[in-house]
């Protein structure tokens, strides 16, 4: 395939044509050749013409074009109730590293505006894929083994509805942040947060006395954790509580210019199991005056609305957690 110039990298999704099926099959086999070599497996059936014909016939298959040329494909499955699953997304290996996969994934999501959630899986050993999907807003939610007799493992990923994007300009006015293009170099942090209720309907709220604001309990997802493991750990550390997750709220995206950081926060509703114990704050949190309190959600909203954070990061935290709490209250 001729090398595409950067100005020609306009990526589009088109219905799959019968005349392109064999070419797409060849591209798919080449795209997943590394999986076949490393794990002895690639997506089930993708190397057969029947797989591609099935996608054409059931309407789940889309061709990815770059500069008007066939560059790959995607299978998208409607699971009902606004849930969609990305079955496969592949790009010609000769075109890797040019942003085509990123643009194709964005186009897929935009094609289904009524979606309230996305899911997919990727091999546990494919760090490249995991980084790609994490930067696109997906978070690990579990693991699965298609064949219990095999060591081959898949990581399951999900993307929640976006509640709010937050940038310096939203908090401090125009001219306070660098050009958006710089965000591609920002480090990524993923975090798990919760609106956590006890049996009396009170909500866990962290008061950060030093900086003058309140926040939801939660924090960063550590290496090897899925979002639910991180959520259980954070609720135990900050609220002293064992929990049961009761629902999804959504996600927020913070683009923090001073720290050159993108933070995706995945928010869930949860309830306390048993009786809360003592919080186990870090030394840094204790120095910041962290303290857990239990208040009605409506009172928590008023407290957060009246906060005037003294720190740069506190303004992001307040805006983020207000978006999460308001979304929760709208549904309850």
Give the Å distances, CA to CA, from 155 to 33, 66, 86, 252, 258: 19, 29, 14, 22, 32
Question: Yes or no: is domain 6-159 CATH 3.40.630.30?
Answer: yes
Q: Which residues of the chain have pLDDT under 70?
A: 1-8, 176-181
Domain 162-331: CATH superfamily is Nucleoside Triphosphate Pyrophosphohydrolase (3.90.79.10)
pLDDT (0 to 100) of residue 178 = 61
pTM, 2 dp: 0.93
Q: Where are the domains of the chain?
A: 6-159, 162-331
Pairing of strands 154-159, 218-220: unpaired
Q: 121: which 2 tokens? A: 């899986």
Whole-number pLDDT of residue 1: 45
State how far the alpha carbon of 268 is from the alpha carbons of 18, 71, 289, in Å.
43, 37, 25
Region of 72 (left: φ > 0; alpha: ψ -120 to 50; beta: rest) is left
pLDDT number for residue 41: 76
**pLDDT computed for residue 6 by the predictor:** 47
How many Cα atoms occupy the beta-carbon half-sphere of 89 within 13 Å? 23
* Predicted pLDDT of residue 321: 98
């Amino acid at each position: 395939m001729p090398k595409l110039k950067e100005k020609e990298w306009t990526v589009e999704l088109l219905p799959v044509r019968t005349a392109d099926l064999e070419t797409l099959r060849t591209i798919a086999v080449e795209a997943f050749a590394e999986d076949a070599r490393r794990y002895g497996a690639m997506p089930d059936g993708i190397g057969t013409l029947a797989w591609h014909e099935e996608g054409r016939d059931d309407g789940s298959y889309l061709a990815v074009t770059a500069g008007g040329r066939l560059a790959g494909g995607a299978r998208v499955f409607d699971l009902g109730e606004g849930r969609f699953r990305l079955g496969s997304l592949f790009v010609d290996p000769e075109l890797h590293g040019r942003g085509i996969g990123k643009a194709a994934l964005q186009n897929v999501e935009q094609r289904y505006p009524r979606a309230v959630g996305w899911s997919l899986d990727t091999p546990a050993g494919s760090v490249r894929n995991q980084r790609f999907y994490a930067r696109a807003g997906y978070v690990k939610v579990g693991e699965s083994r298609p064949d219990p007799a095999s060591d081959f493992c898949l990581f399951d990923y999900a993307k929640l509805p976006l509640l709010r994007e937050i940038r310096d300009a939203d908090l401090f006015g125009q001219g306070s942040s660098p050009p958006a293009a710089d965000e591609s170099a920002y480090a990524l942090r993923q975090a798990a947060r919760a609106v956590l209720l006890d049996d009396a309907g009170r909500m866990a709220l962290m008061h950060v006395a030093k900086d003058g604001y309140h926040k939801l309990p939660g924090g960063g997802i550590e290496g090897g954790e899925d979002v639910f493991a991180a959520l259980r750990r954070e609720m135990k550390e900050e609220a002293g509580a064992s929990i049961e997750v009761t629902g999804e709220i959504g996600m927020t995206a913070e683009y923090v210019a001073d720290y050159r950081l993108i933070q995706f926060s995945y928010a869930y509703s949860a309830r306390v199991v048993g009786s809360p114990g003592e919080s186990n704050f870090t030394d840094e949190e204790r120095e910041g005056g962290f303290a857990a309190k239990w208040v009605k959600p409506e009172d928590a909203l008023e407290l957060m609305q009246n906060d005037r954070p003294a720190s740069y990061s506190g303004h992001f935290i307040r805006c983020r957690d207000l978006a999460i709490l308001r979304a929760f209250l709208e549904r309850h």
